[in-house]
Amino acid sequence: MSVTMTAAMPALCSTLLLTILRVAGAQSLPSFSSFVQSYKRSYSANSAEYENRRNLYEKRVADAEQQNKKLNKLWTAGVNEFWDWNPSEMSSLFGWSGAARPESSFGGSRMASIRKADFLQKGNRTLPEAKTWSHLQTMQSVKSQGGCGSCWAIAAVSTLEAATEIHSTQRRTFSAQELVSCVPNPQECGGQGGCRGATVELAVDWVMKYGNFEEYQAPYVGTDMPCQTTAEEALKLHENKNGAAFGMHGWETLPKNKYEPLVRALAETGPTAVSVDATPWHMYEKGIFDGCMKDAIINHAVVSIGYGVENGVKFWEIQNS
């Protein structure tokens, strides 16, 4: 099994068919009082916080109604659990500061696990017009970050779980919590580590070198918890089983903003972790999202599970956390 990962890929912010965790969708948008009841908010009526949250919510209702009234729109806006969150609270979930791909490993030298992506760029096989991995059992359950900026860890384990389902005879889960707790980020690539952000590359390199618990062995709690081991002790803790123990022979970073390498990775390898600007996604409910800003700034790691064309519009299929 060769696991393929990607570096920052802002080109994905063109058209997206998003598979996102949503609690409810509605044709008519509910009032703030209904929202408070549905999402079990505990704001005291007439308090300053209540009014601030109501103003945030009603601004998003107005924006959503404007989007839904557009003729020939590609996507529909709908209420979700984040509609009363302020921008700072929203950004805390992204877990990616826009930093570039890490150039060093935990010990200071360049990551030895990275292989060049030449095989993806030199492929001779004709690529299908559309490909989706949404049928995988791994993709049936969308992982939730909770209040932790752990998108990088969840994207990593989601991709690894899909790869083992596709390429290995023995499926297994992976522990995002171990990555949140244990993966060092001394150069603050993508964030300050743990729930304050890191990169998929750091997560996958950890698994490749030191192994990883299954989810039941280190369940996800979505907080910064102390790591129970050092990198040097991790292999012993995992019974001397690094990535090779479950068929992981390498991983690689795809060229940034290149269409064909990502399409080829999805068609020939499987779901692939990608980096995106998720700032404008908070209103999305269904359809092909085309509301990304022109000058996108990478802030979130997700999993691309396919691509396709609908009514002449090309899209990437994304599973969010």
What residues are labeled active site? 151, 300, 320
Q: What is the DSSP letter of 16?
A: E
Residue 133's closest CA among 155, 165, 157?
165
CA distance 305 to 135: 10
The dihedrals phi and psi of 304, each to the nearest 5 degrees, come to -85, 125
∠ CA 113-250-141, nearest 5°, is 120
The contacts of residue 116 (CB under 8 Å, 6+ apart) are 252
Contact 146, 222 (CB under 8 A): yes
The β-bridge partners of 76 are: 286
Contact 113, 5 (CB under 8 A): no
CA distance 62 to 53: 14
Specify the residue for token string 């599970």. Answer: 305
Residue 54's closest CA among 44, 68, 65?
44
Using a 10 angstrom Cβ sphere, with 0-12 exposed, 13-18 middle and 19 or more buried, the burial of residue 44 is exposed
Residue 92's closest CA among 217, 224, 213?
224
Helices 200-210 & 151-167, crossing angle to 10 degrees? 50
3-state secondary structure of 298: coil
For residue 308, the one-letter residue type is G
CA gyration radius, the chain: 20
